[in-house]
């Protein structure tokens, strides 16, 4: 029986009405960088730690524990409970809240999530369903994915921006932030706060300013939603980087939630290790809230992954390993501080127009350089890649490229005639 070829049929799809969604600008820029054939090029884009050779760095403590897990006869691949690996959840609580007292522990409900992104998503959906807020106040700017997460998980919650970055001085616009929240925020609104190492600006409030923000939340009855993605990675001290969260809780009057990530401080980017915490008014409210969170978790992922959580729990619950990990944190945070100082020194040496002190005054992985979109696009012709907002990932700098990066910045700033944060003259 012969085969009869059918005539071509014009096909249509039920999905042709869809508009193509924009790609992620960071990952798109990484692809552009990878295709650049230049011998010298530098990527200051994605927020991942790189060593002095510009390569991914697996923490020595993590390597040690991976070997221990592989050799442990008790290791298996069974499902975790829906709330996650118990040892990990307890370790995450202790790291964030500082070994909380029994009284505080009775108010804290926690579960393991798909990294910090999953924690923010879970929190957005939970608060949308339980508190029915009308608005969430988000810093201008913030991590771009914050907006997308709330668009999807809490589409009826209006996203409002509070001033954060002062482009004239490349510093925190604290007065603008407080004025806007004081005049426009309403009781029951959510407020999204970065616990430390603000992404993308690298600018954090001082402790005194954090106290004033907590005062305002109490007075205005705002509900704090902390995103803690860089604990220990910003200052090198896990307790210092948790200060804001702990201060809010110490008030005893504020209920709040925290999304916690272990991607940066353990270098476990691909393992997606995170936790979500709620601090409720009492134990009964904690238990009810946790039951709803577990219900949502069951519907979305059922059970979180085990491998990365085992690594974190093993390290944090073994004093010797935790001490070694804290030294790893100092290596990472210290190298980034060194690179900030080096870039600033090179720009000073070149007498690049403008004041660049903000680079060393900011902290954490990112710097809002103050470079304009036009200058950033000009830098790409020099094979230097950063976001059009001017955000640079400082970990992309090293001793071999920092001088060349500074020269490229000097070149485009002089060519444009527009200097970031102009020096104030007497």
Active site residues: 143, 227, 264
**Three-point CA angle 266, 271, 273, nearest 5°:** 65
Helix (H) or strand (E) holding 165: strand 165-166
Longest dimension (CA), the chain: 95
Gap between the Cα atoms of 113 and 152, Å rounded: 17
Alpha carbon distances (Å) from 192 to 155, 235, 285, 331, 410: 16, 21, 22, 30, 36
Gap between the Cα atoms of 118 and 276, Å rounded: 9
Q: Which of the 8 DSSP states describes residue 394?
A: G
Token pair, residue 327, equals 């030294």
Token pair, residue 61, equals 């403590």
Token pair, residue 114, equals 């798909």
Residue with tokens 């007498």: 351
Residue with tokens 């499902």: 79
Gap between the Cα atoms of 271 and 145, Å rounded: 19
Residues 236-265: b if buried by 16+ CB within 10 A, e if exposed: bebeebbbbbeebbeeeebbbbbbbbbbbb
Residues 208-233: b if buried by 16+ CB within 10 A, e if exposed: eebeebbebbeebebbbbbbbbbbbb
């Amino acid at each position: 029986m012969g085969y009869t070829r059918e005539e071509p049929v014009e096909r249509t799809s039920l999905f042709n009405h869809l508009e193509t969604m924009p790609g992620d600008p960071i990952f798109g820029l990484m692809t552009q960088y990878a295709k650049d054939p230049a011998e010298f090029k530098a990527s200051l884009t994605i927020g991942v730690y790189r060593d002095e050779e510009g390569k991914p760095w697996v923490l020595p403590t993590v390597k040690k524990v991976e070997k221990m897990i592989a050799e442990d006869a008790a290791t298996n691949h069974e499902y975790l409970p829906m709330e996650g690996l118990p040892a990990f959840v307890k370790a995450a609580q202790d790291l964030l809240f500082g070994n909380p007292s029994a009284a505080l522990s009775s108010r804290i409900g926690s579960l393991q999530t798909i990294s910090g992104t999953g924690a923010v998503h879970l929190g957005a959906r939970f608060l949308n369903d339980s508190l029915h807020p009308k608005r969430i106040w988000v810093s201008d700017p913030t991590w771009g994915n914050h907006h997308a997460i709330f668009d999807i998980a809490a589409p009826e919650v209006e996203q409002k921006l509070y001033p954060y970055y002062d482009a004239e001085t490349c510093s925190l616009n604290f007065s603008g932030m407080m004025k806007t929240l004081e005049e426009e925020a309403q009781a029951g609104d959510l407020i999204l706060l970065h616990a430390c190492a603000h992404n993308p600006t690298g600018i954090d409030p001082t402790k005194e300013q954090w106290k004033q923000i907590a005062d305002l939340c109490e007075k205005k009855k705002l509900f704090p939603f902390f995103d803690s993605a860089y604990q220990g990675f910003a200052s090198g001290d896990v307790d210092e980087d948790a200060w804001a969260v702990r201060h809010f809780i110490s008030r005893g009057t504020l209920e709040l939630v925290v999304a916690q990530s272990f991607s940066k401080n353990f270098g476990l980017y691909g393992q997606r290790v995170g936790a979500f915490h709620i601090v409720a008014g009492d134990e009964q409210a904690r238990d009810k809230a946790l039951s709803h969170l577990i219900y949502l978790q069951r519907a979305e992922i059922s059970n979180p992954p085990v491998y990365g959580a085992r690594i974190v729990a093993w390290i944090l619950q073994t004093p010797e390993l935790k001490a070694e990990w804290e030294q790893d944190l100092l290596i990472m945070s210290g190298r980034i501080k060194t690179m900030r100082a080096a870039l600033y020194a090179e720009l000073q040496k070149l007498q690049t127009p403008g004041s660049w002190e903000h680079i060393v005054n900011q902290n954490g992985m990112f710097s809002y350089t103050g470079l304009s979109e036009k200058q950033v696009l000009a830098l790409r012709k020099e094979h230097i890649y950063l976001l059009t907002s001017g955000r640079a990932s400082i970990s992309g700098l090293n001793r071999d490229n920092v001088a060349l990066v500074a020269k490229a910045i000097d070149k485009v700033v002089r060519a444009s005639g527009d200097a970031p944060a102009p020096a104030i003259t007497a």
